[in-house]
């Protein structure tokens, strides 16, 4: 086991993996000072939680069922309550 300057133990790895981890660590260390200044382009824009087809189907079912209920009540002459 090898200890870092932060006293967090880690297992020594082969050369290629160690270099990759070192690069990632350096990127993280350089990015740590940029907190709160994240570019908006890195985030996805206009992300819909419900697709337009699903939304149209939902509206069709809701509006259609309410119209059918109004027509049935008008034909039977009953009031709800």
pLDDT digits (tens, 9 = 90+) for 9-58: 555 555 566 678 888 888 887 777 776 766 666 556 667 788 899 999 99
Pairing label, strands 2-3, 9-10: antiparallel
Would the pLDDT of 66 be above 60?
Answer: yes
Would the pLDDT of 60 be above 80?
Answer: yes
CA-CA distances (angstroms) from residue 66 to 8, 25, 36, 46, 52? Answer: 63, 59, 48, 31, 21
Structure-token pair, residue 79: 């009031």
Rounded to an integer, what is the distance from CA 51 to the centroid of its chain? 15
Would the pLDDT of 75 be above 70?
Answer: yes
Assessment of whether the complete model's pTM goes beyond 0.85: no
């Amino acid at each position: 086991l090898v200890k870092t300057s932060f006293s967090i133990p880690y297992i020594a790895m082969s050369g290629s993996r160690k270099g990759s981890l070192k690069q990632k660590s350096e990127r993280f260390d350089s990015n740590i000072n940029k907190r709160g200044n994240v570019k908006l382009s890195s985030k996805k824009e206009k992300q819909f939680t419900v697709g337009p087809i699903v939304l149209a189907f939902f509206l069709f079912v809701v509006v259609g069922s309410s119209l059918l209920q109004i027509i049935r009540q008008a034909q039977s002459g009953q009031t709800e309550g």
